[in-house]
Every structure is written in structure tokens, then in C-alpha cells.
Structure 1
Amino acid sequence: MNPLTENEIRSSFVNASKREVAQASLPDLSALDWERLEYLGWRDSKRPLGYAVVVIDDVPRGIILRAAPPASALGGRRRSAICAWCEDPIETKDVSLYVAKRGGAAGRNGDTIGTLICTEFACSSNVRRKPTFTELGSDEPSAREEFIERRVAGVQSRSTKFVAAI
């Protein structure tokens, strides 16, 4: 992913009011390893919100997501789940339901769409981890590289499709 500026990020949101965009917290953009990101995702430290920005047809498109309350807050225990974006079968404990209002009139009328995403938006690192022998069926370095490339392409595709559906 190419580095984005604060202005590019703030102007990319397709499902937010001007007030929501102005109130959005941003990560430290200078600390990010942009070459190892398929999308930019982060959580708001003060509110139950998440943000994601993907590039669609060379244009950044951002969304604001509302995190569902953790199961422990509802009196239950947290269940394992697989992130719909990275589909990592190893990192299943830190996945949350995120819901985003749709853009335009549909969103203003309350239409939303949700999915399971890594709570801390760690998909880019998850898809780059060394695959287990069970996942790969081989220890060959070339097979490992191809497997990781497929996973990277998959998270790009699935995150882009979700944002485009907003």
C-alpha cells in the first residue's frame, strides 16, 4: 500500500458525516510499514470504533466501523472465530464483529453491513506469518512464498469487496 496523508485518509471515508470524519482518531502514520499493509486499519482508543482504508481503482476508500461489545461485557465468554478478511486459522481469539453503516441514503436510513475482522486489524501480519506444515503440506521455501502470496492477495480481495459493498 502506498503511504497516505491525513487529508487523504479523512477525505476517503464513504460512510461518515463531516463531524465523524473530524472526530476520527488517526494512527501514527510515520510509524507504519506501508509496504507490508494490504489495507490501513486501526481502532479508536477512546470509543468502540474501528477504521479501515483500502485502495479501490487507485483511490483510497475508508469506512468507519462500530465494534460489537465483547462477549465478557454481555456476561458470556469470548468464542473463537476466523477473520473474514485474512481467514487465519491460528489467530482466532482476537476477532471481533464490526458493523458499518452503508454509504449514502441507505446508511442514513440505518442500513448496515457487518463482518468478523481481527480486533486490532492485524490481517497484514497474519497473512505473512510462516504457514504451518498442516496448512502447506511442504517445507519448500517456494511453496511457502506462493502460499503467502495467495493469502496476501486474498486479504486484499476480501477487504476491498467489503468496503466496496458499503
Structure 2
Amino acid sequence: MRPLTEHDIRTSFVNCSKGEAKRLGLPRDLADHPWGDLDFLGWRDPGAPERAYLVADRDGLLVGVALRVTSGASRNFTARSMCSVCLTTHTSGGVALMTARRTGEAGRQGNTVGQYLCVDLACSLYTRGKREAAGGGVVDESLTVEEKVARTQSHLHAFLDKVTG
């Protein structure tokens, strides 16, 4: 992914108003992100922990999506959950259901789309082996890193298509 500016990020959102996009809390360390290893920029809002955001390049256009993070019931320490995008397994709350308001008329009627995602939205780094899940890990499989990246991107694009479709 190419490095993004604050302007790039704020103008990319498709499921919130311009005012909401202007007010959302951005990551403080944009310049320090490992852009070459990212399939999307994802972050939790430090001022509102129930909010998360992701911005992805979709066919040359940036698509930003505002997410709500469910606070789900406390999980058993040994219980494992799997991210639907990168297929990384986590223990103890490392995966959460995140919902996005759909675009257009469906969104105005209150329709949402949900996906189980890594709570830190570091799917790209897990896929590439740049970060390890605490108490979890990636499924033992024979795919190459490039194949895993392609699968992660495919799952991400399918989610974005549900939000915008």
C-alpha cells in the first residue's frame, strides 16, 4: 500500500458523513507505518474504543470504512477465535465482531455488515509473519506468503463489496 496522508484518509470514507470523517481520530504515527507490508490501514480510535477504521486501495481508489466494535462477553482464556480476513487465530479477545454501516439507501435504513476481525487490525502483518498473535497464531498451512496475501486481499475486498454493494 502506498503511504497515505491525513487528507487521503479523511476523504476516502464511504459509510460516514464528511463531518464524521473530519472528526475521527487518526493514528498518530502515519509516517512510521510499514506501508510496503500493508494491504490496508486499520486502527482503533484512541478516544472511542468502540470505533475502528480501515482504509484500503480498491482498484486504484481509496475506500475508507468506519466500523463499530462489539464488546462481546468475556471469553475463556483458552478459547480461540479466528479473523475472517487473515485467518489468524487469537485467544482472549484478540478477535471481535466489527460492523460497518452499508452505503447508500441500505445504510440510511440502518443496515450493517459484520465481519470478525483482529482487534488490532494488523491482519497484513499477521499474514506476512511480521507479527505473531498472542496466544494464537496462523493456521498451519502450506500456502506461500504471496498466496496468503492474495487470500487476505480477497477476503478484505469481499467485505468492502458487501459494505458498498
Normalised by the size of structure 1, how large is the TM-score? Answer: 0.84
Moved over 4 A (4+): 76-79, 130-134
Equivalenced residues, count: 153
Contact 2:67–2:101 (Cα < 8 Å) also in 1: yes
User: The residue matched to 1:25 in structure 2 has which SS?
Assistant: coil
How large is the RMSD of aligned CA atoms in angstroms?
2.1
* Counterpart contact for 1:62–1:163, Cα < 8 Å: no
- For residues 149 and 121 of structure 1, do their structure 2 counterparts lie closer, same or farther at Cα, with a shift above 3 Å needed? same
Q: Which runs of 5+ in 1 are unaligned?
A: 137-145
Counterpart position of 1:135: 141
Q: For the residues of structure 1 that align with 2:152 and 2:91, how far apart are their CA atoms? A: 16
Q: Which residue of structure 2 lines up, in the alignment, with residue 141 of structure 1?
A: none
Task: Indicate the residue corresponding to 1:139 in structure 2.
Answer: none
Alpha-carbon offset, residue 148 of structure 1: 1.0
Shift of 1:99: 0.5
Cα contact 1:67–1:99 (8 A) shared by 2: yes
Which is richer in strand?
Answer: 2
> What is the deviation of 1:154?
1.0
Identity %: 39
Gaps of 5+ in 2: 131-136
* 1:45 aligned partner: 46
1:102–1:133 Cα change, 3 Å: closer
Work out which of the two has the higher radius of gyration on C-alpha atoms and give 1 or 2: 1
Which amino acid is 1:22 matched to? K
Q: What is the DSSP-based 3-state SS (H/G/I as helix, E as strand, rest coil) of the residue aligned with 1:69? A: coil
Structure 1 residue 161 displacement after superposition: 1.6
Structure 1: how far apart are the matches of 2:107 and 2:139? 44
